[in-house]
Amino acid sequence: MLLTCLTLAILLACRTADLITGTNPAHPTLVAADAQKTLAHTPTRPRVRPTWTRAPHLPPQIIPTEAPPPTEPPPTEPAPPTDEPPTRVPPTNRAAPTRVLLPTHTPTPAGPTATPAPTRCPQQYCVVYRGCETDAGNTIVEGVVYNNGEPENGIAVRVAKEPGAYPEVDDFISGTEIINRGKPDPKNPGHYFLQIVAGAPREGNWWVFIVDVPNGTKQLSEAKLIHTNDDPYNPGNCQHAYVDFVR
């Protein structure tokens, strides 16, 4: 009984293996036929010939290169000297120099005439007019005070709008320096210098006379009228007058 059960178990195990593997050892012909049938029903894929695409033709790539550094031109040699004299360049137009407000040179009592002629008048000092000239940079009256033919220092000379009136500028003491007022000027004895306008000509009427003391009110001389013009380029005009006083 036990042997019969073992035999049946072995047969059942073999059948089960055949079912799992799908083989039927008892019918090899059936297995081959099934395989041929399976191959007959399997569709065959057509053989596709590969196609090749030609790459487009591209122009050659130009790689930029840096520009070479600039080369310095060779130094030019100076032209050999010639015996010809150098060409003279004409001077360019220059602006007219402005005149100094006060003269830097030593003033002199010079003018249109040198020595005043003897004169008589009811005043202590008489006027000797020596003329007038143009001056583009100033309006001035100057001259020399004389006493018995000799230059006299320490006399107050005034310029005003009217005879005996208040001074237009400070009275000038004869025989003193122009820049350093009150300091004696041995080189120009008796000389006075009244600068009405510094740096420009001016139109106007000016009276010149002598007073007793600086800023005084007593007139000791004749008064001379001087008319100045604002146009210094007319030769007949006046900006720089010369008036002496004689005692």
Q: Phi and psi at residue 228, in whole multiples of 5°?
A: -110, 155
Per-residue pLDDT of the chain (247 residues; tens, 9 = 90+): 566 656 666 666 655 555 455 544 444 444 445 545 544 455 555 565 655 556 555 555 555 555 555 556 555 665 655 555 555 544 455 544 445 444 434 444 445 555 555 567 999 999 999 999 999 999 999 999 999 999 999 999 999 999 999 999 999 999 999 999 889 999 999 999 999 999 999 999 999 999 999 999 999 999 999 999 999 999 999 999 999 999 9
Residue 88 included in any domain: no
Q: By residue range, what is the domain housing residue 211?
A: 126-246
Q: Specify if 178 maps to a domain.
A: yes
Please count the CA atoms within 13 angstroms of the CA of 32 that sit on its side-chain side.
4
- CATH code of the domain in which 154 resides: 2.60.40.10
User: What's residue 103's pLDDT?
Assistant: 45
C-alpha torsion sign, points 193, 198, 201, 206: negative
- Per the listing, tokens 């018995």 go with 148
| Residue 206 located in a structural domain | yes
Tell me, yes or no, whether 186 lies in a domain: yes
Note whether residue 149 is domain-resident.
Answer: yes
Question: Shortest CA distance to 109 belongs to which of 184, 187, 188?
Answer: 188
CA quadruple 213, 216, 220, 222: dihedral sign: positive
pTM (2 d.p.): 0.55
Q: Does residue 233 fall inside a structural domain?
A: yes
Predicted pLDDT at 47: 62
CA 165 to chain centre: 50
How far is residue 104's CA from residue 114's CA, in Å, rounded to a whole number? 22
**Does residue 229 sit within a domain?**
yes
Whether residue 147 is contained in a domain is answered as yes
Angle at 143 between CA 139 and CA 149, to 5 degrees: 170
Non-local (6+) Cβ contacts of 149 within 8 A are none
Q: Count how many domains the chain has.
A: 1
Print burial letters for 147-156: b (CB count within 10 Å at least 16), e (below 16). eeeebbbebb
3-state secondary structure 54-119: CCCCCCCCCCCCCCCCCCCCCCCCCCCCCCCCCCCCCCCCCCCCCCCCCCCCCCCCCCCCCCCCCC
